[in-house]
């Protein structure tokens, strides 16, 4: 019987593990299919405090893992395939084990996944001109011509934000009307650095790891006409999916599938806590994920104290 199982090894899960291990609670962390989380698919992280020269995403996550292990966190290299939160003790099923694990409490830190277009080049050029996070990577595109794909609030907000750095931002949208709020649209329409490319989808991304992004091949969905747009950066902003499939129907979520937390990191189920992007569709940063991981650890510790288990 475990005292606590943490699901996820991104900044939220590993920060939880550091705190709970230092409190002598010996947490068990199941790291999932993407050990280290989203930051392992990026290059340099320049906005995580404590690294004035920046740090590569995978190295930052490796350091967090080592820090958690140093204090006694146990890490399982598997994925949770199913959970049963209906009765206590909770059960966590693993993909590669026939037996399930039992636990007094759970911290869900399974993150969110950016939606991508599904082009082969997207993966290859991620961190080499392709990004899904303007706050994180905008700074690298000072004076450059770049594009944002999408027509929702995120795309329009990111396009507007990116005009602080880029000389021109093309907003590529598959329709001729934005989905974004009127206020956000007005702001973008009045920004002379944003050009709109309507009724268009990205068919190919040009460039390679050495040169970075050099352009995109666009297709007009109304006329079928193809064209090339020369740009040096491409931001994909077509939404995110929280990784909450296995919890559906067992805890409260909003209409987008994000876990609803209250009084800190408590979910609708006593003894189950959530931290990081899985419960945050607004900030989505490594430091906020780590911060809420710390909160979840303290909330969970308090819960276990109440049960007389620590
Ligand atoms: P994630 O990092 O998403 O980690 C989720 C974890 O849950 C993963 O380990 C996954 O394997 C695990 N998991 C999922 N399902 C299961 C399951 N069923 N069982 C067990 N485990 C599971 N933020 C910044 O602050 N600065 C940056 O420069 C920056 N750059 C970014 C660049 C890119 C390309 C991307 C995509 C994001 C970037 N971000 C950046 C955002 C940042 O990465 C996220 O906000 C942060 O990683 C969220 O942390 P998290 O722990 O909540 O979740
Ligand atoms: P979203 O509202 O779902 O918008 C996604 C956009 O991407 C849509 O314009 C959609 O086109 C387009 N898209 C989806 N799949 C695509 C594909 N495969 N190829 C090309 N385009 C594609 O997502 P979001 O903008 O991330 O917003 C998510 C939620 O967060 C929303 O509720 C939003 O209001 C909120 N949000 C709020 C703020 C704020 O208030 N400051 C900021 C950001 C986000 P279609 O329009 O044709 O469907």
Q: What pLDDT, in 10s, does the model give residues 247-304?
A: 999 999 999 999 999 999 999 999 999 999 999 999 999 999 999 999 999 999 999 9
Specify the higher pLDDT residue, 135 or 303.
303
Ligand 1 centroid distance, CA of 10 (Å): 5
Averaged over 45-49, what is the pLDDT? Answer: 92
User: Which ligand does the CA of 122 lie closest to?
Assistant: 1
Ligand 1 centroid distance, CA of 114 (Å): 10
Phi/psi of residue 133, each to 5°? Answer: -150, 100
Q: Over 80: is that where the pLDDT of 42 sits?
A: no
CA end-to-end distance (rounded Å), the chain: 14
Q: What pLDDT, in 10s, does the model give residues 77-102?
A: 999 999 999 999 999 999 999 889 99
Confidence category of residue 44, pLDDT binned at 50, 70, 90:
confident
136 classed as catalytic:
yes
How many other C-beta atoms can be found within 10 angstroms of the C-beta atom of residue 287? 15
Q: What dihedral do alpha carbons 197, 203, 207, 213 form, nearest 10°?
A: 40
Share of the chain above pLDDT 70, in %: 100
Ligand 1: lining residues by beta carbon, under 6 Å: 7-13, 30-35, 37-39, 41-42, 45, 47, 79-80, 109-112, 114, 126, 131-133, 136, 243, 246, 276-278, 284-287, 289
224 CB contacts (<8 Å, ≥6 apart)? none
User: Of the candidates 105, 101, 87, 86, which has an alpha carbon nearest to the alpha carbon of residue 271?
Assistant: 105
Instruction: Measure the CA–CA gap between 110 and 95, rounded to whole angstroms.
Output: 15
Asked if 48 contacts 60 with a C-beta cutoff of 8 angstroms, the reply is yes
Give the nearest ligand 1 atom to 126 CA.
Answer: 34
b or e along 239-251 (b: 16 or more beta carbons within 10 Å of the residue's beta carbon)? bbebbbebbeebb
User: Of the candidates 265, 252, 271, which has an alpha carbon nearest to the alpha carbon of residue 92?
Assistant: 271
Instruction: Measure the CA–CA gap between 194 and 176, rounded to whole angstroms.
Output: 15
Question: Can you read off the two tokens belonging to residue 41?
Answer: 């698919």
Residue nearest ligand 2's atom 15 by CA: 238
294 classed as catalytic:
no
Instruction: Measure the CA–CA gap between 155 and 280, rounded to whole angstroms.
Output: 18
Confidence category of residue 136, pLDDT binned at 50, 70, 90:
confident
Q: Which pTM was predicted? A: 0.84
Question: Can you read off the two tokens belonging to residue 289?
Answer: 């994920």
Assess whether the C-beta atom of 151 lies below 6 angstroms from ligand 2: yes
Instruction: Measure the CA–CA gap between 12 and 282, rounded to whole angstroms.
Output: 15
Confidence category of residue 114, pLDDT binned at 50, 70, 90:
confident
How many other C-beta atoms can be found within 10 angstroms of the C-beta atom of residue 204? 14
Asked if 134 contacts 150 with a C-beta cutoff of 8 angstroms, the reply is no
Instruction: Measure the CA–CA gap between 64 and 310, rounded to whole angstroms.
Output: 24
Residue nearest ligand 1's atom 26 by CA: 136
User: Of the candidates 69, 65, 99, which has an alpha carbon nearest to the alpha carbon of residue 82?
Assistant: 99
User: Which ligand does the CA of 129 lie closest to?
Assistant: 1
Q: Over 90: is that where the pLDDT of 54 sits?
A: yes
Residue bearing tokens 């939160």:
85
Q: Over 90: is that where the pLDDT of 41 sits?
A: no
């Amino acid at each position: 019987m475990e005292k606590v199982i943490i699901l996820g090894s991104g900044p939220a899960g590993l920060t939880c593990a550091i705190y709970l291990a230092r409190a002598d609670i010996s947490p068990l962390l199941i790291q999932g299919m993407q050990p280290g989380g989203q930051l392992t698919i990026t290059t340099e992280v320049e906005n995580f405090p404590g690294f004035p020269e920046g740090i590569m995403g995978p190295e930052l996550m490796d350091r967090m893992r080592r820090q958690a292990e140093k204090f006694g966190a146990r890490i399982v290299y598997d994925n949770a395939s199913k959970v049963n939160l209906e009765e206590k003790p909770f059960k966590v099923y693993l993909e590669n084990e026939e037996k399930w694990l039992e636990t007094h409490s759970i911290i869900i830190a399974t993150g969110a996944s950016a939606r991508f277009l599904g082009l082969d080049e997207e993966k290859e050029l991620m961190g080499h001109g392709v990004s899904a996070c303007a706050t994180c990577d905008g700074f690298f595109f000072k004076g450059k011509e770049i594009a944002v794909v999408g027509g929702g609030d995120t795309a329009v907000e990111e396009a507007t934000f990116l005009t602080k750095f880029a000389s021109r931002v093309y907003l590529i949208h598959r329709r001729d009307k934005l989905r974004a709020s009127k206020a956000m649209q007005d702001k973008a329409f009045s920004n002379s650095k944003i050009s709109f490319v309507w009724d268009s989808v990205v068919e190919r991304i040009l460039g390679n790891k050495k040169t970075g992004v050099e352009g995109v091949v666009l297709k007009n969905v109304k006329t079928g006409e193809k064209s090339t747009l020369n740009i040096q950066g491409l931001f994909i902003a077509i939404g995110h999916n929280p990784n909450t499939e296995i919890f559906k129907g067992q805890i409260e979520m909003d209409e987008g599938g994000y876990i609803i937390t209250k009084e800190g990191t408590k979910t609708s189920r006593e003894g189950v806590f959530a931290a990081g992007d899985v419960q945050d569709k607004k900030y989505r940063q490594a430091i906020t994920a780590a911060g809420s991981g710390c909160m979840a650890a303290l909330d969970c510790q308090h819960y276990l104290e109440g049960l007389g288990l620590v």
